[in-house]
Structure 1
Amino acid sequence: MPSPSPLSRSAVVSALRAAGCVFAEDEAELLLATARTPGELTAMVDRRSAGLPLEHVLGWAEFHGLRIAVEPGVFVPRRRTEYLVDQALVQAPDARIVVDLCCGSGALGAALAAALGDIEVYAADIDPTAVRCAERNLTPYGGRAHVGDLFDALPGGVRGRVGILTANVPYVPSAEVALLPAEARDHEPPAALDGGTDGLDLLRRVVAEAPAWLAPGGCLLTETSERQAPAALAAFTDAGLTARLAVSEEAYAHVVIGVREQ
């Protein structure tokens, strides 16, 4: 059976433009570079044109200088969240144990492990598909990913010893999930998006338990929205953490940082 005729670059760009892709030229370059056969390229263009997130089509997302493996049904790490990684590295450059809660693909844990070197890194998520994906991304750094509900998934031996605890919890208020872009709303797990009535349900659960898991001087970092930041800061303070808000206007990122004092 003859191989399908290869799509030209212009044909790929035209197909993506017709599907409403704003950055059709850039996406076309990525698809052309990733596809191994003409048939695979055609299938990838079809999936992207049907609305599947580009990262799910490619099988990876660029994040903090790394290629993070992602697959359909797994939350795609956002580039703005690189700011959270940078803040963690500034706050705790000597951390030896990193925990990535609500890990999704494990992007935060992998990025921190790549930057910090020889550390212990643990990740946890309630979704087995996400944990399988996180294992792929953490294995090169000797990290482990666990299925379970927040801290219940972690090995007890790290309790009280964590230098950096990231918890990129879902923070979209339930009533606003329907307003998200279709790529997120239709192709990412609802549990990775829906943060409850005010968007802070899961955050409050994490913050309440975090001090017991942090080492003295250890820090908890989470991303939130500008509107939710005051309430998030209050939750950190109520839990006994010394809290501050870091903001990147360029990335439109708002990161709450809480430190367990010595």
Structure 2
Amino acid sequence: MALLHADRSALVHRLRAAGCVYAEDEADLLIAAADSAATLTDLVDRRVAGQPLEHLLGWAEFCGLRVAVDPGVFVPRGRTALLVAAAAAVAGPAPAVLDLCCGSGAAALVLHGRVAPRWLAAADIDPAAVACARRNLAPLGVPVYQGDLFAPVPTGWRGRLDLVVANAPYVPTDAVALMPAEARLYEAPVALDGGSDGLAVLRRVAIGAAEWLAPGGQLAVEVSDGQAEALRAVLDGAGLVPTLVHDEDLDATAVTARKPA
């Protein structure tokens, strides 16, 4: 869709005034997504009102892939590239992999190409996330289960998984209100709220992973830097052996935890 330079400049100005840090890039993406001037106006109005860019476009870029993201579904963050890299580094050959709290299925989508799993599945408790993940993962033949953590996963895999990846919610309840509006207003609360200290879901993931992992299997999770030591203690208590990984450039912290052989 062709726009006069003046039109693009005005659009960039509106986006920048609304607080969009990458206003020029966002303007180009919105222009490319619009099939008419009216559609573009609607997209820009909704973005200025605070809706996530990814929900407006219908996709997010993650680890070099374009991942479909439906309205209301957790948008994969750039920092989660560290979690995926840490998981791939400990995966071992032809692993059996489960992506918990999968959201759009972004981590599973990337891991499918990186670790050549013999079995790969994803799970989430949010119906909207499950529907979105199924759309992303169905072409790869990857099943997506709906339910609470390990509960919907076929029991035949209990004690046989080589890798469990979980981008579980870890924002403390009181801090959710301090998150950017595009997250707290437009993403499912269940994908954000990690309980009073942010570790409520991760505690349950650790306990479940100790049961579902094969001996020598690995759990990989994301957490804030300030929570890492507390999470290490949780993993120790679950009988897992944790290793912390931090990336200053991504401002990201991941933890892998091995089930002893």
1:166 aligned partner: 165
Please report the TM-score for the alignment, with normalisation by the length of structure 1.
0.94
User: Which amino acid in the other structure matches residue 15 of structure 1?
Assistant: R
User: Which amino acid in the other structure matches residue 61 of structure 2?
Assistant: E
User: Size of the alignment, in residue pairs?
Assistant: 259
Residues 133-186 of structure 1: CA deviation (Å, up to 9, x unaligned): 010111122111111011101111221221210111111111111111111111
Please, what is the CA RMSD of the aligned residues? 1.7
Residues 167-221 of structure 1: CA deviation (Å, up to 9, x unaligned): 1111111111111111111111111111111111111111011122112221101
Unaligned runs of 5+ in 1: none
The answer to whether the 8 Å contact 2:96/2:117 transfers is no
The answer to whether the 8 Å contact 2:98/2:163 transfers is yes
1:13 aligned partner: 12
**Which stretch shifts more, 225-234 or 158-167?**
158-167
Distance in 1, matches of 2:94 and 2:167, equals 18
Deviation at 1:250, TM superposition (A): 1.0
1:178 aligned partner: 177
1:218 aligned partner: 217
The answer to whether the 8 Å contact 2:222/2:255 transfers is yes
Structure 2 counterparts to residues 71-220 of structure 1, below 5 A:
71-117=70-116, 119-220=118-219
The answer to whether the 8 Å contact 2:88/2:111 transfers is yes
User: Which amino acid in the other structure matches residue 16 of structure 1?
Assistant: L
SS in 1 for 2:214: strand
Distance in 2, matches of 1:119 and 1:49, equals 44
Distance in 1, matches of 2:103 and 2:62, equals 13
The answer to whether the 8 Å contact 2:97/2:117 transfers is no
Distance 1:36 1:97, change over 3 A: farther
Distance in 1, matches of 2:182 and 2:66, equals 20
Q: Percent identity?
A: 55
Distance 1:94 1:39, change over 3 A: farther
Deviation at 1:129, TM superposition (A): 0.4
Distance in 2, matches of 1:154 and 1:143, equals 13
2:260 aligned partner: 261
1:230 aligned partner: 229
**Which stretch shifts more, 191-200 or 87-96?**
87-96
The answer to whether the 8 Å contact 2:105/2:122 transfers is yes
1:39 aligned partner: 38
Deviation at 1:6, TM superposition (A): 5.8
Deviation at 1:118, TM superposition (A): 5.2
Unaligned runs of 5+ in 2: none
